[in-house]
Chains A and B, each alone.
Chain A
Amino acid sequence: MPILEISNLSVDFRTVGGQFRAVDGVSMTVDPGEIVSIVGESGSGKSVSMLALMGLLPWTATITADKMMFDGKDLLTIPARERRRIIGNDLAMIFQEPMSSLNPCYTVGWQIGEVLKVHLGLNKRARRDRTVELLELVGIPSASERLDTYPHQMSGGMNQRVMIAMAIACNPKLLIADEPTTALDVTIQAQILDLLAKLQRDTGMALVLITHDMGVVAETANRVSVQYAGQKVEEQPVSQLFADPHHPYTAALLSALPERATTRRLPSIPGVVPGQYDRPAGCLFSPRCDFATERCVEKAPVTQGQAAGYALCHYPLNQGKPVGHPGPAAILDRRLSA
Chain B
Amino acid sequence: MFGFILRRLSLLIPTFLGVSLVAFFFIRLLPGDPVLLLAGERGMSPDRYAELMHRFGFDLPLWQQFIYYFTDLLHGDFGTSISTKKPIFTEFFTLFPATLELSFCAVIFAVALGVPAGVIAAVKRNSWFDHTAMGTALVGYSMPIFWWALLLIIVFSVMLGWTPVSGRISLMFFFPKVTGFMLIDSLLSGKAGAFQSAMSHLILPTIVLGTIPLAVIARQTRSAMLEVLGEDYIRTAKAKGLSPFRVVAVHALRNALIPVITTIGLQIGVLMAGAILTETIFSWPGVGKWMVDSIFRRDYPAVQGGLVLIALIVMAVNLIVDMLYGLVNPKIRHQR
Contact = CB atoms under 8 A, between A and B. Distances in A.
B41 interface: no
A103 B241 contact: no
A100 B239 contact: no
Interface in B203-251: 231-233, 235-243, 246, 251
A52 to B, nearest CB: 13
B327 to A, nearest CB: 11
Given A56-B235, A105-B255, A114 B330 contact: no
B7 interface: no
A131 to B, nearest CB: 14
B329 interface: yes
A118 B242 contact: yes
A105 B329 contact: yes
Given A84-B242, A93-B239, A105 B232 contact: no
A97 interface: yes
Contact of A118 (B233, B239, B241, B331): B241
Given A95-B232, A150-B330, A152-B330, A103 B239 contact: no
A89 B241 contact: yes
Nearest to B253: A105
Contacts of A163: 236
A119 interface: yes
Contact of B239 (A85, A92, A97): A92
Interface in A54-97: 54-56, 83-89, 92-93, 95, 97
A166 B240 contact: yes
Given A97-B232, A103-B233, A104-B255, A56 B239 contact: yes
A108 to B, nearest CB: 11
Given A85-B241, A86-B241, A118-B241, A95 B236 contact: yes
A268 B63 CA distance: 79
A102 B236 contact: yes
A105 B330 contact: yes
A118 B250 CA distance: 13
A88 B247 CA distance: 13
B37 interface: no
B235 A95 contact: yes
Give the interface residue-count category, chain A. 20 to 34
Given A105-B254, A105-B329, A100 B242 contact: no
Contacts of A153: 334
A103 B237 contact: yes
Given A100-B232, A102-B233, A87 B239 contact: yes
A312 interface: no
A63 B213 CA distance: 42
Contacts of A55: 238
Contacts of A54: 238-239
Contacts of B328: 105
A273 B246 CA distance: 38
Interface of A: 54-56, 83-89, 92-93, 95, 97, 100-106, 114-115, 118-119, 150, 152-153, 163, 166
Interface of B: 231-233, 235-243, 246, 251, 254-255, 328-331, 334
Given A104-B329, A118-B242, A152-B330, 20 more contacts: A54-B238, A55-B238, A56-B239, A83-B241, A88-B239, A88-B240, A88-B241, A88-B242, A95-B239, A101-B232, A102-B233, A103-B255, A104-B255, A104-B330, A105-B328, A114-B242, A115-B240, A118-B246, A119-B241, A163-B236
